[in-house]
Structure 1
Amino acid sequence: MSTSNTTNRITVVGAGYMGGGMAVSFALGGHHVSLADATPELAAAGRDRLLNEAVSFVERGLYPADAADILAERISSAKAVANAVSESTYIAEVVSERIDIKSGVLVSVANAAPDDAIIATNTSAIPIRELEVHVRKPERFLGVHWMNPAQFVPGVEIIAGTYTKDEVVSRATELISGIGKVPVKVPDTPGFIANRLQYALHKESSRLVEEGLISADELDAVVSNSFGFRLAFFGPMAIADMAGLDVYADTYRSLHGELGEAFAPPKYLQELVSEGKLGVKHGGGLTRLSKANSEAVASYRNAAYSSLSRLKAEVGSAPSEA
């Protein structure tokens, strides 16, 4: 895991599974972390769980060899949230995904934190504009949405609120990047980006299962071994550019005819194709991929897919009751 050149005083409010993973990421990234919760007992129990887990994870090769010692040194449990945040430069609020709970915690945190401390809420879908009203000096407040399990998944969404200063967005992005994560600034739109896409896929998947077209296990096998396999290296827009936007447009037309307006060809796609922009093979597309770097991209793709195939064979299938 990467180590930041600048040490921050970080408080994670919420010592559960997500908050714990974030605390581990910050600590292994070089920062001192105070883990806080509703009671000192919960905070202490959360820290103990992380340290015990670290020993097992080191033995299994999931953490660096010295991780258990690093976490024991850098993660402390707080006796009270107010005391912990009063000396922090960055505060991550990671409590339950309910506005009534988050609002109360944010009020307390904002009142106790230094005026220049960043306050970041971890939320999967609650609009930042609905939470910022509970924060004193909301210009230092933003959303920083991690993915579970936080210590292993690299993606983090950075969501500015109505009043968030650009400097705060930059500081938060630099901090998250500095510990080896991949922060991306996204808009304060319902579900942000990751969950809007994830739930769109889940909705269509559920429809296929409900209609009796396929079982849940069979559907998961299709996804994880086809386009889901590729998504580890390329997003959907790059995949379309590589496949050919004309191919996508034709496929959409077929789906549109059978499944209706939900599968109508996107307007941008039709416009690009009409202009002769077909992706990598001709004219470019939506991403930075082009014919000029197509050979390098293909070489990278082949090596990446081959490596992932070997990794899947090595790791094997997820445990099941079967």
Structure 2
Amino acid sequence: MSGQQIAVVGSGYMGGGIAQVFAMANASVTIADVSPEVARANYDRLVAETREFVDAGLFPADAVELVRANLRAAESIEQAVADAQFIEEAVPERLDIKHAALARISAAAAPDAIIGSNTSTILIGSLAEAVERPERFLGVHFSNPAPFIPGVELIPHSGTDPAILPVVEDLVAAAGKETARVKDATGFVLNRLQYALFHEATQLVEEGVASADDIDTIVRTTFGFRLPFFGPFAIADMAGLDVYSFCYTSLQTKWPERFATPASLSALVEAGRFGTKTGAGYLEIGAERTADLIAYRNRAYAQMQRLLYELGPAPIADPGDEQQRFATPATEGAGQ
């Protein structure tokens, strides 16, 4: 990313992490905030935090040098964005605050500068109302903590120029992140899925089916264990869409509307597309790749179990709580 000029407006926890990511990728990054004093204080914090992450083995050994060389604090938003090719807005999640920041950004930036917003909840079309030349504006949603979570949602609004999407994809990929394109819809994808899971989890607690601790254990040790490697459609295809259809029917004996069978699932099952066992389901996974997929799956799960065993339990519960302990990997050295 050498030669790339990037500005991050809003240098707090999220904005600062995004700035770190780009600076370590060797872009020239300028941060701005409500005052030059806040921006400078956050610059000092980011350097100190980078050093802590290096000492902990979380960042590469040259990260401090990269951040010092590539990151600077501006006196104002206008100064930060003046020469930037890409600008990421990361101010607090309030429409009025974002509108004010985006109006200043777009007025001071070069006409061809691309502007992204790190919003997680506000429709991009609503934010675009404050942007001059809104065709160069889109959502670029990093996740918390930005230095360590690899996924980034890209959300164009109805007026976004499609030509800027591959430019932003390349920029984010050069910083070591993986992008997915998402339409401008309430909740986007990440939060719509995350809050759907949380809602059902709270229902289970409120119904007395299981405690919050036990639900967390079930999620992280069963279907959540798969999620670093496979999304819900790959998991369903491997399980068998005919099996999923049967399970929906079972759930409907108690909640016929809440767990109504998705129309797309019924259509695939009726067409005989059951997933990997038939060579196609939601995804096109040919039968010739099934053996390699299963081998990858087993190796991935075995290595994840070893990693969790090496890390030990998260410091949430009492260390003596057996419910929070990880089992010893069943096969020492499996998946090497």
TM-score bracket for the superposition, by shorter chain length: over 0.9
> Could you tell me how far 1:293 is from its partner in structure 2?
0.5
- Judge conservation of contact 1:281–1:290 (CA < 8 Å) in 2: no
- Judge conservation of contact 1:20–1:50 (CA < 8 Å) in 2: yes
Aligned pair 1:159/2:155, yes or no? yes
Partner Cα distance (1:26, 1:167) in 2: 22
Question: 1:109 aligns to what?
Answer: 105
Unpaired segments ≥5 residues, structure 1: none
- Structure 1 runs of 4+ with >2 Å offset: none
Question: 1:74 aligns to what?
Answer: 70
- Judge conservation of contact 2:47–2:64 (CA < 8 Å) in 1: yes
TM-score by length of 1: 0.97
Partner Cα distance (2:44, 2:23) in 1: 15
> Over residues 28-81 of structure 1, what are the superposed CA-to-partner deviations in whole Å (9 max), with x where a residue is unaligned?
112010011000111011111111111111111100011011111111011111
Amino acid at match of 1:8: Q
Partner Cα distance (1:66, 1:168) in 2: 31
- Judge conservation of contact 1:157–1:185 (CA < 8 Å) in 2: yes
SS in 1 for 2:100: helix
- Judge conservation of contact 1:208–1:214 (CA < 8 Å) in 2: yes
Aligned pair 1:184/2:180, yes or no? yes
TM-score by length of 2: 0.93
Equivalent of 2:144 in 144, 148, 154: 148
Equivalent of 2:49 in 53, 58, 64: 53
SS in 2 for 1:258: coil
SS in 2 for 1:144: strand
Amino acid at match of 1:55: R
SS in 1 for 2:129: helix
- Judge conservation of contact 1:121–1:144 (CA < 8 Å) in 2: yes
Aligned pair 1:258/2:258, yes or no? no
- Judge conservation of contact 1:277–1:285 (CA < 8 Å) in 2: yes
SS in 1 for 2:75: coil
Paired-residue identity, %: 46
SS in 2 for 1:76: strand
SS in 2 for 1:259: coil
Partner Cα distance (1:10, 1:168) in 2: 15
Amino acid at match of 1:231: L
Partner Cα distance (1:314, 1:146) in 2: 28
SS in 2 for 1:300: helix
Partner Cα distance (1:257, 1:321) in 2: 36
SS in 1 for 2:258: helix
Aligned pair 1:288/2:280, yes or no? no
> Could you tell me how far 1:290 is from its partner in structure 2?
2.9
SS in 1 for 2:141: strand
Amino acid at match of 2:7: T
Question: 1:24 aligns to what?
Answer: 20
Quote the RMSD (CA, aligned, Å). 1.0
- Judge conservation of contact 1:34–1:77 (CA < 8 Å) in 2: yes
246-255 or 280-289, larger mean C-alpha shift: 280-289
Question: 1:118 aligns to what?
Answer: 114
- Judge conservation of contact 1:158–1:186 (CA < 8 Å) in 2: yes
Partner Cα distance (1:57, 1:92) in 2: 23
Point out the structure with the larger helix share. Answer: 1
Q: How many residues align?
A: 318
Amino acid at match of 1:192: F
- Judge conservation of contact 1:238–1:289 (CA < 8 Å) in 2: no
SS in 2 for 1:261: coil
Amino acid at match of 2:128: E
> Could you tell me how far 1:289 is from its partner in structure 2?
2.1
Equivalent of 2:165 in 135, 159, 169: 169
- Judge conservation of contact 2:24–2:63 (CA < 8 Å) in 1: yes
Partner Cα distance (2:111, 2:117) in 1: 16
Question: 1:224 aligns to what?
Answer: 220
SS in 2 for 1:134: coil
> Could you tell me how far 1:7 is from its partner in structure 2?
2.9
Amino acid at match of 2:110: P
Equivalent of 1:277 in 250, 273, 293: 273
Equivalent of 2:11 in 15, 29, 36: 15
Aligned pair 1:35/2:31, yes or no? yes
> Could you tell me how far 1:283 is from its partner in structure 2?
4.3
- Judge conservation of contact 1:13–1:35 (CA < 8 Å) in 2: yes
Equivalent of 2:241 in 242, 245, 265: 245
The change in CA–CA distance for 1:290 and 1:262 in structure 2 (over 3 A counts) is farther
